[in-house]
Structure 1
Amino acid sequence: MKVIKCAFFILLFFCSYSYSQTNKITVQVNNVIKNISPLMTGACIEDVNHEIYGGIYSQMIFGESFQELPMHIDAAVNPEFAGLSGWLSCKASRDQHKDESEIRSWQPVKTGTSSGSFSIDSIQPFVGKQSQNINFIGGVGTIGIENRGLNRQGLYLSGKQPYEGTIYAKTNNPVQVYISLQSEDGSVTYAETAVIVTDVAWTKYNFTLTPTRSAIHARLAITLHQKGKVSLGYVFMQPGSWGRFKGLPVRKDVVDGLIKENITVLRYGGSMTLADDYRWKNMIGPREKRKPYKGIWYPFSSNGWGIIDFLDMCSVTGIVGIPDFSTGETPQDMADFVDYVNGNNNTHWGRKRITDGHKQPYHLKYIELGNEQFNNQKLTDKFKLLADAIWSRDPYIQIVFCFSDETREDTKGDLAYIKQTIDHCQKIGHQAWFDVHIFNDTEKQPDLKDFEFAESQLKSVAPDSSFRLCVFEENADNARMRRALAHANAINRLQRIKYDVPIVCAANGMQVDHQNDNDWDQGLLFFDPKHVWGQPSYYVTKMMAENYLPQVSESNFASKSDTLDVTSCRSTDGKIVTIQVVNSKSTSVNTDVQLNYYDGTATKVTVSELKANSLEDWNTVDEPNKIVPVKSEITSSNNGCNYTFAPYSFTILRFEQ
């Protein structure tokens, strides 16, 4: 009998211990903590790692206006250049990836016994500092140049689809110029046409090429087949309307990828705005005549796609667009910009917008000024002048100011300058918004000290003022699953904290595969000339945006051994509840889930789960769907359920009546 009693108590002990170890998520549905913005599922794009020029911009030619450094053509070094001499624009240094080739754009073409020379025209260039001269001297065959797109990665051609293009050329004597789409080594020609260049002045020549079949690693060749000279100032080629989004100069497949991500807001800008010649008026007018400039990320940058093109894309996709501006802009230029985008035909710049083909105003709501610049009186005074100019034209635009890292805990900083901006805005009836950048490179709880410290510091110097903080760059320096979990963690925490965070954007929104020229290897949407695919962090944004609900409810995760990051949201009427759960551990976590004070009965629980076998897993061009969300349904009992959260996973449980 004693043995039986002993066994009974042992069983009771283990049952009690097991019960005490049960993990539980409890949601107090009617205890609403705060309202949240739908603009917390955004991305930042700028021309870093060729997101734009060589990326989403439909221009397929890299080195379009021959601004790159000249390469000396020497047959002693390159035997394949025998019979050729001179200089060809094609080189750009690698600041970080120095083991990569400096040859970025054009290379010589020669066939047969032909001979020729190349030279740089820096006296009367078409645009920028220089143009390219080609001279067929003699022999039989061809002389010319060929281009394989961004960093010579190769062009992708879709068979039997038209490609449209333009060259600007001049000559002293009429010469026939051949334009062709060829295989990588030139042995196969997929399409060819010719134009006769006759004018001594720079003249535009349009062409259309329709390849006979699809090809990868193709090239565009521009050649002379007989004795003559030609100067080239600009070359443009893009897919026909079939390959562009609603006729805009952007790749349709890339924009489709952004739309499928359910991105709600895009910020265009960042360090690129710090370039001396980054000015919005340089980004309008005919693309070929827009001034190239020395960019922060690429020394021979193109203005072919700029702020207005960005707003065009946002307006047709329904994505909220936020352009970032250089503080080098003048107050008058910013006033003109507001007239251009939001003014009517009563203003000069409003009429110019209409003339440029955009009849209706853009109704722009947000403008950012600056990017991570050091706080000083000169910058503060410039912020005030630019803000006043913007609000003089449209007082309803919300301005977001981006100061430097001086607001971070590990630097002293002079918050008095920021206080001046807050006070100035408040004095004239506006609320100051600030952009705080955070770094988030591991699967663990994101380090939000920069954000939280900025808020506390600003409150300390302006306790009676109203301001708001945004995150326009959630940086990570990787695109792996650990970044995805960190990204989910960051949004979860920014939704829960007491501060009202109106906008959150992850950087970088896009990235060209294998073409990163620096260490910001963190794109959400990857692509190459043929393919487009999302990374795990892309799908986190997609899941969050698809399941957006406007209110955060109180939630709690109880466990003695496990750790989950949990945020619960609800619809305004409380009939739909979501629970966003991040499990960054290598083990699964079985959890009871309970909704308290839920008015009604949940009849359906939809599960969206993103998981990986390793924190270092990601999606590649060969395995683009290795890590994608999987949807399922589970049953609900008494407004609750039991669910096992997989290792390395982000999961959303959606309860609906």
Structure 2
Amino acid sequence: MGKITVRTEKKRFPIAPNLYGIFFEDINRAGDGGLYPELLRNRSFEDSIEPKDCRTGQDGYALVSRAGWRDEFNHGEGLSRWVRKNGTPYTPIPAWYTNHAQMALDRNDTLNPHRQVSLAVSFEEGGELYNTGFCGIAPKAGEKYLFYMFARTEAPVKIRVSVEEDGHEFGGMDFLLEGGGYVRYDGSFTAEGDGRNARLVIRCPEGGKVNFGFCSLMPEDTYMGHGLRRDLVEKLRDMNPRFLRFPGGCIVEGFSPETAMQFKNVVGPVWERPGHQLMWHYRSYNGLGFHEYLQLCEDLDMEPLYVCNCGMTCQGRSPEFFEGEELASMLQDTLDAIEYAVGDKTSRWGSLRAKMGHPEPFRLTYIEIGNENSGPAYEARYQMFYDAIRARYPHIRLIANTHLEEQGLGADIVDEHYYSTAEFFAENVNFYDKYDRKKPKIFLGELAVVRGWVGQLYGALGEAAFLVGMERNQDVVELASYAPLLENVDYNAWFPNLIRFNNRESIAIPTYYVWKMFGNNRGENVVEADVETGTLYRPVKGMASLMGQAGLRYRNASWNKTPVGISHELMGRVKEEEGVSRILPPDEEQRAEAETLHRVDKDRVFVVFGEEQVTSGVFDIEIYAEEGREICLGVYSGRMPKEVYMADETHPPKEWNAANVKPFLWTLEKGISTFREQKFPSDRNLDEERKAELRYGEFNHFRYEADGKQMKLYVNGECIHQVDVPSFPSLSSVVCDSPKEVILKIVNMSPEEDAVEISLDCEVEDAYEVILLTGEKQAENSFEEPEKVHDVVQNHSGASSHFYYGAPAYSVNVLRLAKIQVQ
């Protein structure tokens, strides 16, 4: 049974007003065809064109940057699994097909200097050109759709543009194309019936030749008439987000100089925005650009948080660093973006904003210099950008990617990112308790459970526990956002994502409701509260492993006194001679694999014993000790749960590899024994260092005993370490108040209901409100059951200065208690 003691008279600090926000990055086709509801895919006809500083390999299968980073390309269709899943027929120009017509890209006759090609089509009589959209177009009965295109003909040509599915026309428009140059043609129709897999058809009854420069089909009904998909923005609005981080994420950096994000390419008329290839496997047309982001912030009353490129491509994808004029140009691009947002309408970029329909300045509160950048190259560029922005715009709060204050550099806020398991987040509920209050504020810019209970209720509970700890430290943590935000389910590149959609409907994962509940129930001050609760242990599995320098020798390995052998050679090969096994260095195949994996030492051996599913037992082994040679033994050497993201889709990793096995590490070197956990960004000691004498020049006996809760480690019969398996509280809570009420947030990660004893130092009304999220541990939402897990508002009674509340098993609870006002 848990107990929460609340002292409202002891205010710790005011809440951070902008704590809960959102982060948008164009991933999973979240922009075009998603938040920006363009219905035509490849509307500029450029998807199959590789960036000029890249090349394609393997007959268009792979895209390779100048620096050597590889990605799947498939002639512009993106990931192979998208093509397979969606049953996409081959076409040389993605999403465009013909019947009784011939099409080709024309590089010599384009709509404007920003367009690389036009689409030249020669129609036979009755010939047609059609676009399949983003896995079909889904018109809704009675809704109006707006179409426009830029086209050029040498002679008049009649065409009919319609949206059709299985012979049914939902609506159409007739055009007579004429004029020697590109002309814009506009039309609209109201859908007659509902569709799901329709296509846009351009039919030419009499035949003719047309160059299409650009085209678009959009719903007329958008959020506040500002061009964004209504149901998605409404879900964002309901979270009550206080800021928006945009436009990325890794897309800000790009994977090559040409694909780096630049403000000047995402403003102005959409047909003049050049677009660019994203590292998330597709091309963006950038209809969702800087102006649209700022407008969304204004519509939802959010503070803009703009992430700028600081002269580097993505450091996780074979980086390149801008120098000289190229670097100066990137800095100027950032200053121009700020001027567009906040400059007077008579300024160069402010006047473009006015021309785009917003004469008054937008707000621009935060700027993040770079994304996930680090090291000396970043530090030099960060300082350059910091000095220039601070001198001209001192009101803007500047965000660093790493703790640059440790290098003597200025930063108002530092952005930290955490992707892990539900248990990691629950174990770190006290993560910021000891953070130095003199250091910069914290922005938790990206956090999510990406392994284990992914997209399920239990994953959301782990994240909720971490948010509870964050709220208890919001004098330090100023901003937080989940990542990623949106996912078109037909173009999934990363999972989970807060909101999922197809071309007709959208759903939210359980985590969405946690952020909604927490973001809408804030109070004014964080107050003192003590929590007493039980303990839950991290689930662990797997037998032992050995790692370290090649040449390590061992014998007589056993599990529960039964001999056990090597089951997985992750790095290095095992050779046995006369009862003694030696681990040879990694071979070329293993070294090549290591190059594709994250944080793997290709010179270090790593082998795993026995079965993976065991959770308790005794492991014995004799290891030959040599002076100067490290001995490293892994405890619980099971694989981490899978994650969807792959760093290199062209070389998928093996089921067992040196990056997805992270045992607890027992290391002996120079008479010192350490026992630690592998964590990002640095390992954590599970116990203090201890002396451990080895008999050099002979085999020594090593043993560990593990039961899922405790681990005991022995050398030659002596217990060196006795350590608990990492654990977390079954119940976590944070309490805020205002003059009129007390707000308790309670997360119960236990499989049992907890009758929580709540004691307050103030009187409250008998009736109170509970916002509840609960269900089965693995519960998740789907298009068939979109609200299997969602927040429910309940009215309860029985509150007082001392009462009991039954927190359901696996639940997030927000209690709103009305204070009794003393006259």
Shorter-chain TM range is 0.7 to 0.9
1:19 paired residue number: none
Contact 2:310 2:331 (8 Å CA) reproduced: no
1:175 equivalent in alignment to 2:157: yes
- Structure scoring higher RCO (CA < 8 A, sep ≥ 6) equals 1
2:647 paired residue number: none
CA offsets per residue over residues 608-629 of structure 1, 9 Å max, x none? 1100113x21111111111111
1:568 equivalent in alignment to 2:745: no
Contact 1:354 1:360 (8 Å CA) reproduced: yes
CA offsets per residue over residues 537-569 of structure 1, 9 Å max, x none? 111111112211132222223245674333332
Contact 2:253 2:309 (8 Å CA) reproduced: yes
1:262 paired residue number: 240
Q: CA deviation at 1:309?
A: 0.8
2:44 paired residue number: 65
Q: CA deviation at 1:354?
A: 2.0
Contact 2:770 2:795 (8 Å CA) reproduced: yes
Question: Which of 489-498 and 578-587 deviates more?
Answer: 489-498
CA distance in 1, matches of 2:448, 2:19: 15
Q: The residue matched to 1:253 in structure 2 has which SS?
A: helix
1:54 equivalent in alignment to 2:33: yes
User: Which amino acid counterpart does residue 145 of structure 1 have in structure 2?
Assistant: L
Contact 1:473 1:505 (8 Å CA) reproduced: yes
Aligned residue pairs total 573
Q: Structure 1 351/450 Cα, relative in aligned 2: closer, same or farther at 3 Å?
A: farther
Q: Structure 1 602/444 Cα, relative in aligned 2: closer, same or farther at 3 Å?
A: farther
Match of 2:297 among 286, 310, 314: 314
CA offsets per residue over residues 481-507 of structure 1, 9 Å max, x none? 123112211210111248610000011
CA distance in 2, matches of 1:98, 1:448: 40
Give matches, 1:184-195, under 5 Å.
185=166, 187-195=167-175
CA distance in 2, matches of 1:491, 1:561: 19
1:166 equivalent in alignment to 2:148: yes
Match of 1:196 among 172, 176, 190: 176
Contact 1:604 1:635 (8 Å CA) reproduced: yes
Give matches, 1:526-537, under 5 Å.
526-537=500-511
Q: CA deviation at 1:95?
A: 6.5
CA distance in 2, matches of 1:515, 1:630: 31
Q: CA deviation at 1:203?
A: 2.1
Give matches, 1:241-252, under 5 Å.
243-252=221-230
Q: CA deviation at 1:99?
A: 4.3
Q: CA deviation at 1:307?
A: 1.9
User: Which amino acid counterpart does residue 119 of structure 1 have in structure 2?
Assistant: A
1:479 equivalent in alignment to 2:455: yes
CA offsets per residue over residues 376-431 of structure 1, 9 Å max, x none? 2x32222222223323332101111224xxx7xxxxxxx68x52422xxxxxxxx5
CA distance in 1, matches of 2:204, 2:343: 49
Q: CA deviation at 1:226?
A: 2.2
1:223 paired residue number: 203
Q: Structure 1 448/147 Cα, relative in aligned 2: closer, same or farther at 3 Å?
A: farther
**% identity of equivalent residues:** 22
Contact 1:443 1:485 (8 Å CA) reproduced: no
Q: CA deviation at 1:97?
A: 5.7
User: Which amino acid counterpart does residue 357 of structure 1 have in structure 2?
Assistant: G
Taking only aligned residues, the RMSD between alpha carbons, in angstroms, comes to 2.7
Q: Structure 1 634/136 Cα, relative in aligned 2: closer, same or farther at 3 Å?
A: closer
CA distance in 1, matches of 2:365, 2:790: 33
Contact 2:96 2:132 (8 Å CA) reproduced: no
Match of 1:40 among 2, 8, 19: 19
1:271 equivalent in alignment to 2:259: no
CA distance in 1, matches of 2:103, 2:338: 45
User: Which amino acid counterpart does residue 501 of structure 1 have in structure 2?
Assistant: V
Structure with higher helix content? 1
Gaps of 5+ in 2: 50-73, 312-328, 537-728
CA distance in 2, matches of 1:169, 1:301: 22
User: Which amino acid counterpart does residue 471 of structure 1 have in structure 2?
Assistant: L
Match of 2:193 among 207, 213, 228: 213
Match of 2:464 among 456, 477, 488: 488
Q: Structure 1 216/92 Cα, relative in aligned 2: closer, same or farther at 3 Å?
A: closer
CA offsets per residue over residues 220-278 of structure 1, 9 Å max, x none? 112222221112221111111xx201111201121111112222222112111012341
1:591 paired residue number: 756
User: Which amino acid counterpart does residue 120 of structure 1 have in structure 2?
Assistant: L
Q: The residue matched to 2:422 in structure 1 has which SS?
A: coil
Q: CA deviation at 1:170?
A: 1.4
Q: Structure 1 257/484 Cα, relative in aligned 2: closer, same or farther at 3 Å?
A: same
CA distance in 2, matches of 1:610, 1:440: 22
CA distance in 2, matches of 1:144, 1:373: 48
CA distance in 2, matches of 1:118, 1:560: 68
CA distance in 1, matches of 2:290, 2:27: 15
User: Which amino acid counterpart does residue 568 of structure 1 have in structure 2?
Assistant: V
1:645 equivalent in alignment to 2:634: no
Q: TM-score, normalised by structure 2?
A: 0.66
Q: Structure 1 278/492 Cα, relative in aligned 2: closer, same or farther at 3 Å?
A: same
Q: Structure 1 284/147 Cα, relative in aligned 2: closer, same or farther at 3 Å?
A: same
1:121 equivalent in alignment to 2:92: no
Q: Structure 1 392/561 Cα, relative in aligned 2: closer, same or farther at 3 Å?
A: closer
CA distance in 1, matches of 2:8, 2:429: 29
CA distance in 2, matches of 1:561, 1:91: 51
1:326 equivalent in alignment to 2:309: yes
Q: Structure 1 201/651 Cα, relative in aligned 2: closer, same or farther at 3 Å?
A: same
1:305 equivalent in alignment to 2:288: yes
2:122 paired residue number: 135
User: Which amino acid counterpart does residue 121 of structure 1 have in structure 2?
Assistant: D
Q: The residue matched to 1:56 in structure 2 has which SS?
A: coil
1:624 paired residue number: 786
Q: Structure 1 191/90 Cα, relative in aligned 2: closer, same or farther at 3 Å?
A: farther
CA distance in 2, matches of 1:143, 1:373: 52
2:387 paired residue number: 388
Contact 2:529 2:735 (8 Å CA) reproduced: no
User: Which amino acid counterpart does residue 478 of structure 2 have in structure 1?
Assistant: P
Contact 2:486 2:499 (8 Å CA) reproduced: yes
Match of 1:557 among 531, 546, 551: 531
Match of 1:253 among 226, 231, 240: 231
Contact 1:262 1:541 (8 Å CA) reproduced: no
CA offsets per residue over residues 163-220 of structure 1, 9 Å max, x none? 111111112222112210101x3x1112111212223322211111222222222211
Q: Structure 1 632/238 Cα, relative in aligned 2: closer, same or farther at 3 Å?
A: same
Q: The residue matched to 2:372 in structure 1 has which SS?
A: strand
1:106 paired residue number: 95
Q: Structure 1 54/345 Cα, relative in aligned 2: closer, same or farther at 3 Å?
A: closer
Q: TM-score, normalised by structure 1?
A: 0.81
1:508 paired residue number: 484
User: Which amino acid counterpart does residue 141 of structure 2 have in structure 1?
Assistant: G
Q: CA deviation at 1:444?
A: 5.9
Contact 2:770 2:814 (8 Å CA) reproduced: yes
CA offsets per residue over residues 455-512 of structure 1, 9 Å max, x none? 96xx6xxx9x642221111132332212311221121011124861000001122222
Q: Structure 1 68/348 Cα, relative in aligned 2: closer, same or farther at 3 Å?
A: closer
User: Which amino acid counterpart does residue 51 of structure 1 have in structure 2?
Assistant: A
Gaps of 5+ in 1: 1-21, 71-88, 408-414, 423-430
Q: CA deviation at 1:443?
A: 5.3
Q: CA deviation at 1:312?
A: 0.6
Q: Structure 1 90/208 Cα, relative in aligned 2: closer, same or farther at 3 Å?
A: farther
User: Which amino acid counterpart does residue 502 of structure 1 have in structure 2?
Assistant: E
Q: The residue matched to 1:436 in structure 2 has which SS?
A: strand
CA offsets per residue over residues 89-139 of structure 1, 9 Å max, x none? 9742317767445659424243xxxx33222212223353322221124xx
CA distance in 2, matches of 1:340, 1:120: 34
Q: CA deviation at 1:572?
A: 4.1
CA distance in 1, matches of 2:422, 2:349: 47
User: Which amino acid counterpart does residue 395 of structure 2 have in structure 1?
Assistant: Y
CA distance in 2, matches of 1:567, 1:294: 44
Q: Structure 1 508/229 Cα, relative in aligned 2: closer, same or farther at 3 Å?
A: same
Q: Structure 1 447/66 Cα, relative in aligned 2: closer, same or farther at 3 Å?
A: farther
Give matches, 1:360-379, under 5 Å.
360-376=360-376, 378-379=377-378
